Structure 1
Amino acid sequence: MADSRDPTEPQQPRDGTKSPAKPFLMIWFRCCSTYGRLPKSADGLKYTGRCPKCRALLEVGVGEGGTSRRMFEAQ
C-alpha cells in the first residue's frame, strides 16, 4: 500500500506547472568527508553554502566563460 508521506514521484505544484530547476553545485567537503550543495544566489553571481557537518562557509564566484562541471572539492 502506498504511503502519501513517501511518494514515488517528485512533488509538483498543485496547478500542474513544473517548478523551475534551481541551479546548484555539488561539493565534496574534505574537512568532514561529506557532500553538500551550494545553491546559486538570487543575483546569479555566486554559489554559497556551508559544510553540513562543521558549518564552514564556502562561496564560489561565477566567472566569465565558466565551466560545465557541477561537482567540486573544497578544503
Structure 2
Amino acid sequence: MVGEHFDACDQPRPTGNRPARGRPYLGVHFSCCGVYARVYVNREDTQYVGNCPRCARHVVFRIGPGGTDARFFTVY
C-alpha cells in the first residue's frame, strides 16, 4: 500500500558551490504583546518592514549608511 515504506538516504543532497541564502530579515521582539517575529526587507532593499503578529503594530527599519549590524531588536 502507498505510504507503508520509508525510503531514506544517508548522503546529503548536492547543493553545488553556492551557500544557502534566504531572504534577509531582522528578528524583532514586540514587547507590546510579548511575541517574536521576523521582519523582512522590502523589494527595493531600502528598509525592513513588518507588523506585530498579534496587534498589527507597524515597524520600519531603514537601511543606510551609518546604521548598525545588529540583527535582533526589541520594539517598545
- SS at the partner of 1:44? coil
| Counterpart position of 1:47 | 48
TM score, norm. by length of structure 2: 0.69
User: In structure 1, what is the equivalent of residue 34 of structure 2?
Assistant: 33
Q: How does 1:10-21 map to 2 (within 5 A)?
A: 20-21=21-22
Q: Deviations over 1:22-70 (max 9, x none)?
A: 0000001010011011100111110000001111111111121332210
How many corresponding residue pairs? 63
Q: Which residue does the alignment assign to 2:61?
A: 60
Alpha-carbon distance in 2 for matches of 1:21, 1:66: 22
Gaps of 5+ in 2: 7-14
The 1-side partners of 2:20 and 2:53 are apart by 25
Contiguous gaps of at least 5 residues in structure 1 = 3-15
CA distance in 1, matches of 2:31, 2:53: 12
CA RMSD of superposed structures (Å): 2.4
Give the greater-gyration-radius structure (CA).
2
